[in-house]
């Protein structure tokens, strides 16, 4: 079980039978608005209230890597494009939808919906 608190801390709870263990995985110092696991559960996308998107590989790393940062409009949401976990799609408050290569954060494609987006 993974969850975050308003302080920008990602917690991991390992639950087995009636026992549990809590571990602090990472601190990014920005409130986390959403967590999305890749289809194979190896990568976690973290979207902050400020619109920054981070990737976190729980098995391979103790820190999150900033993938996308706020440009003209805050990222409202992001998710993986399946199958696989090489690409993600994001949407900004201003209605811009973008496809990103997760390896280096390269924007591969974008389209503007010409509408304001809300959750």
Query: Which CATH number is 105's domain given?
Result: 2.120.10.30
Which structure tokens are listed for 52?
A: 């920054």
The dihedral through the CA atoms of 22, 67, 108, 76 has a sign that is positive
- Tell me how many domains the chain contains: 1
Q: Which domain holds residue 49?
A: 2-112
Highest averaged pLDDT of the listed ranges 13-17, 29-33, 111-115: 111-115
Confidence check: pLDDT of 109 > 80:
yes
Domain assignment of residue 45, yes or no: yes
Half-sphere exposure of 88 (CA within 13 A, CB side): 26
Q: Residue 76 in contact with residue 65, Cβ under 8 Å? A: no
Domain assignment of residue 90, yes or no: yes
pLDDT digits (tens, 9 = 90+) for 65-108: 888 775 545 777 888 888 878 898 888 888 889 898 888 888 89
Domain assignment of residue 117, yes or no: no
> What pLDDT does residue 111 have?
93
98 beta partners: 90, 110
pLDDT mean across residues, the chain: 82
Domain assignment of residue 119, yes or no: no
Q: Which helix (H) or strand (E) holds 97?
A: strand 96-101
């Amino acid at each position: 079980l993974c969850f975050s608190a308003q302080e920008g801390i990602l917690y991991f709870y390992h639950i087995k039978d009636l026992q549990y263990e809590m571990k602090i995985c990472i601190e990014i110092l920005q409130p986390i608005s959403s967590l999305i696991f890749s289809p194979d559960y190896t990568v976690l996308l973290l979207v902050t209230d400020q619109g920054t998107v981070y990737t976190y590989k729980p098995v391979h790393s103790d820190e999150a890597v900033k993938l996308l940062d706020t440009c003209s409009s805050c990222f409202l949401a992001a998710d993986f494009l399946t199958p696989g976990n090489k690409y993600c799609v994001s949407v900004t408050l201003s209605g811009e939808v973008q496809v990103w290569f997760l390896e280096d954060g390269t924007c591969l494609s974008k389209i503007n919906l010409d509408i304001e987006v809300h959750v």
